[in-house]
Amino acid sequence: MKVPGLFTSARQLRQAAYSLVDQACAVGGMFLVNVALARTQEKAEYGLFALSYSVFTFIAGLHNASILESYTVYGSGRYNSHLSEFTSKLWQANLRLASVLTVVLFALWFALRCARPVLASQALLGLALTAGVLLTASFLRQTFYVRRMPILSACFSSTYVLGLIVLLIGTLRAHLFNTLTAFLIVAAAWLFAFACLWKYAPGPKNSRQFETVEPNYWSEHWKYARWVVATAFIFQATNQAYYWLVAGLLSLKDVAALRALYILVTPVDQVFVAISFIVLPMMAFQWASNNVDRLLSLWRNFLALSISVTAICAAMAQVLGRWLMHKLYGGKFDDVAPLLGLLALLPIIMGIGNTMNVALKAAEKPRYVFFAYLASGATTLLAGIPLVTSFGLAGAVYGLLLSALAYTASSGIAMLRYVRPRTTRSEFLETLPIKPEQSGALEG
């Protein structure tokens, strides 16, 4: 699909196609794992997996904040001329973070096993053993986008999903599939894909040279990342918090039902995550080049595409939702199927906000993304808790929609105020009806 002003060349269209393949494979693999777990495990056990994956989502948000997002914006913008050196520095930082995270999570699981064995679930152990691998895979995929080689990311994810399917079938047939092995086979599949493409991974070369050229790179990196790190904490209260609210106020079975609904409406979100991998570097380059009109043109086309596609998907969910729920889950969640049509409105609302999110990040204004998520998190606390208490699982769906509305409205206000052409002083003076040099003559 060619969108004027967004993908205006055959090369950009190919990049978008590769990005869609990459995202479809990366997210599709976890989708298959979720469906397999929902069909084969008890609802309470699947609920524990959903909570553990919510923890991973939070960790991935911190990883994205501290490394991926700043790397994408600065690597595409101000450090573009030293990209290989900058990539090497961030690759090393990623590996150190992944190693520390693995040790911390495993220590946490072991401590829980000793003190409160009931909390030391198989899913949490699986997360502890594999989180570092999953985050490193995300970083490697992102390097391909910043280097403008999404075909490598598509190959990486395609290899992963093929390996995952083989492992998934094998563990299911051997009756070894559970919430622990689910994490393990996902990590093993990513490691297999990495082994196939290891020569394209960043190396340590030239990293010291980059420090010489940009001695203050880390302080600049943190100026941007600190807001995104804060956002990662608040994001947990935007939609992931509803899993925990449902767990605390309702039951683990209801957590499983919410997860079963949620994974059916999020694939369309991932389409635009894939496109944003292409659009964010483009927008960041335009901002760094002081070409804000072009950035806004890209955003408007991105917004139009998001609204049209998510609206079509919502209409399809209204018509086919119950049938799809029944077929995928073998009738296990038919009682909550009527909520799918309502929850399908979530990608429309979030999609609008997410396009503005990308524009704000490209304009190096992550603080306003933080404020948007803060408004959403406040809505979760003020409205989400009473809604879940009063209406049960349906209340969680209502709360998700309200939180999304707060996020999108706040993003819109920030877009209107802060993402606009940066007028120089001379250009500003040209817009004045009376020039400064004329004012003296008039006074005389």
User: In the prediction, which pLDDT does 38 show?
Assistant: 94
Within-domain flag for 221: no
Q: Are residues 153 and 292 in the same domain?
A: no
Within-domain flag for 443: no
CA angle in degrees (0–180, nearest 5) for 353-354-359: 100
User: 0.85 exceeded by the pTM?
Assistant: no
Q: Are residues 210 and 240 in the same domain?
A: no
Within-domain flag for 363: yes
Residue 103 burial (10 A CB sphere; 0-12, 13-18, 19+):
exposed
Is 323 in a helix, a strand, or coil? helix
Q: Are residues 91 and 41 in the same domain?
A: yes
User: In the prediction, which pLDDT does 216 show?
Assistant: 66
**What count of other Cβ atoms lies within 10 Å of the Cβ of residue 297?**
15
Within-domain flag for 5: no
The C-alpha atoms of residue 341 and residue 15 are separated, in whole angstroms, by: 32
Q: Are residues 164 and 259 in the same domain?
A: no
The C-alpha atoms of residue 148 and residue 226 are separated, in whole angstroms, by: 26
User: In the prediction, which pLDDT does 1 show?
Assistant: 43
Single residue among 215, 244, 265 that ends a domain in this structure: 215
User: In the prediction, which pLDDT does 266 show?
Assistant: 83
Q: Which domain holds residue 70?
A: 10-215
User: In the prediction, which pLDDT does 366 show?
Assistant: 79
* pLDDT, tens digit (0-9, with 9 covering 90-100), for 397-438: 999 999 999 999 999 999 988 887 655 444 434 434 444 444
Crossing angle of the two packed helices 122-146 and 10-40, in degrees rounded to 10: 180
Within-domain flag for 427: no
Q: Are residues 164 and 297 in the same domain?
A: no
Q: Are residues 203 and 61 in the same domain?
A: yes
Averaged pLDDT in 10-residue chunks for the chain of 444 residues: 54 79 89 94 93 89 80 73 79 89 93 86 93 94 86 94 97 95 97 92 66 65 69 71 92 94 85 78 84 90 92 91 91 93 94 93 85 90 93 95 95 89 48 44 39
Q: Are residues 372 and 312 in the same domain?
A: yes
Domain total in the chain: 2
User: In the prediction, which pLDDT does 435 show?
Assistant: 45
Within-domain flag for 440: no
Give the tokens for residue 384: 């989400």
Residues written for the chain: 444
Give the tokens for residue 204: 């340590």
Q: Are residues 134 and 184 in the same domain?
A: yes
Q: Are residues 377 and 277 in the same domain?
A: yes
The C-alpha atoms of residue 44 and residue 256 are separated, in whole angstroms, by: 7
User: In the prediction, which pLDDT does 430 show?
Assistant: 46
Within-domain flag for 241: yes
Within-domain flag for 2: no
Q: Are residues 161 and 84 in the same domain?
A: yes
Q: Are residues 292 and 204 in the same domain?
A: no
User: In the prediction, which pLDDT does 288 show?
Assistant: 81
User: In the prediction, which pLDDT does 390 show?
Assistant: 95
Q: Are residues 186 and 284 in the same domain?
A: no
